Structure 1
């Protein structure tokens, strides 16, 4: 029996995947999604552990025998996923910028309004909320923090 070359094996694998049904493709996609989510969960826990350890990423990775590049790869993926889950803010028009002239009384009022804000500290995350913060934005931000850091 002749040995199959590497190229021949690849051709056989490609032709096999060309013949899978739509249902089988969906199952593969679902499996890939599950694997991805498991990896995300694992790396989220590592990121939280690193942040709570007080060590730099370099030192933490060395102590835990984690590849530095892998840590930052997954940190980027976690951040990207978190950003995708946030609501899209309306784009500001740059063609007609508006300039506001503030009097001394307006500035004082603005400072007083700012002082009535609420600051939340939850693990490595701090969040400042004021009256202008919408409930929807606050809820989505808290969900994102919970998903990324597993807290709040």
Structure 2
């Protein structure tokens, strides 16, 4: 089975799980699916924007940035947490940091 076929299969499975009213463990037992596989595909197919804003973790604000911006760094502030980023920041490290903050 190629990736596209596998993805289509899991789109169907995730829809079935959501419509079932069961929790993940119950649904996996009833359908003989590994719990870790369902969890993976739920994360993969779930739009991150919706889950983050519904949980009230992050809200995005629009900013007006002048055409010529000479800033060498920016500061992200979420509640009591401030993250200072230089223009050459490591995107993967920032994503890991945000995921860690979401779990707090």
For this structure pair, what is the TM-score category when the shorter chain's length is used for normalisation? Answer: 0.3 to 0.5
TM-score (norm 1): 0.31
Give the alignment's TM-score, normalised by structure 2. Answer: 0.43
Q: Where is the helix percentage greater, Structure 1 or Structure 2?
A: 1
In proportion to residue count, which structure has more strand? 2
Look at both structures and tell me which one has the larger radius of gyration over its CA atoms.
1
